[in-house]
Structure 1
Amino acid sequence: MAEIQVVRGDITDEQVDAVVTAANESLLGGGGVDGAIHRAAGPELAKAGAAQAPCPPGDAVATPSFGLGPRIRHVIHTVGPVWEGGGHGEADVLARCYRRSLEVADDLRAGSIAFPAIATGIYGFPSDEAARIAMSTIRAAHTQVQLVRLVAFDEETYRHLKAQE
């Protein structure tokens, strides 16, 4: 079982093998955490992502980290669900994002990974429910990843994640 750490900060400053970005299906970059990761990595990240697009919700793909390296070697792009009230399978899709990202990390032989709060920004997933799903899914995952860092950008997300420890 991986060690899980909850921290507050900027995911682009993490010292891990791979960071996960909450992408859109085009993998071209967007707002929020995805925009921050793309800005830090440089324009090559969008080109590499576009070559693998489209990525459906719940799936994940990896690219090199470009300008985030050498401390971060890979960016794992996952597409979260758009919140539609909770009755349209959003929780299952979100759990798949975490599971699939860990599978990709295993394929990359990543020993450490940092996740943002997937789908809680513009996609509108409630951060308390998202924190519960993130933590329970990561705890139940069969992975070779040794360290998982859940990186909260804001205080509310941090509180919800800490409550799940």
Structure 2
Amino acid sequence: MYTREEAKQLRKNFWMMFGKRCEIIPQLLHRKKKWILYDTKIGGLDLKFDIDRFEAWVMIEVNAKSEDRRLQIFELLEKYKVILEEGFENGLQWEICYTREHGEEVCRIFVLQEGFDLHRQNQWADIYNFFIDNMLVLERNFLDIRDVLQEELS
């Protein structure tokens, strides 16, 4: 078992190593910024990676403060579900109401891999591959519809 400080350091090391791993990915080599993440150009919509003791996620998170705005964005994304799910063998999971551990409600569209544990450093390479492979597809699909989303949301 890790102390709070050890767990914090482990998480920090995990993300630093992930950054180094991304530096050698051919598809990311000539990009000024490795991942879109919070720079989607759509307020209240982010692309994210997450990992805990049981599973890893690559996701679109709709986290607009206004519930009406969240639902508007989520419903618009549903309209383009076929495009967003392209390249995902089993599609994506769509969760209209996900409550974060601090109580904040968001919408999530994600691919999930169970059995990954942040504390098992021998899994890190597989977790990084899961993150990279799936985020490359999710980003590509998102960019295919981003301009249309911006128009319809303005």
**Fold equivalence (TM over 0.5):** no
Q: Which has the higher helix share?
A: 2
Which protein is bigger by CA-based radius of gyration?
A: 2
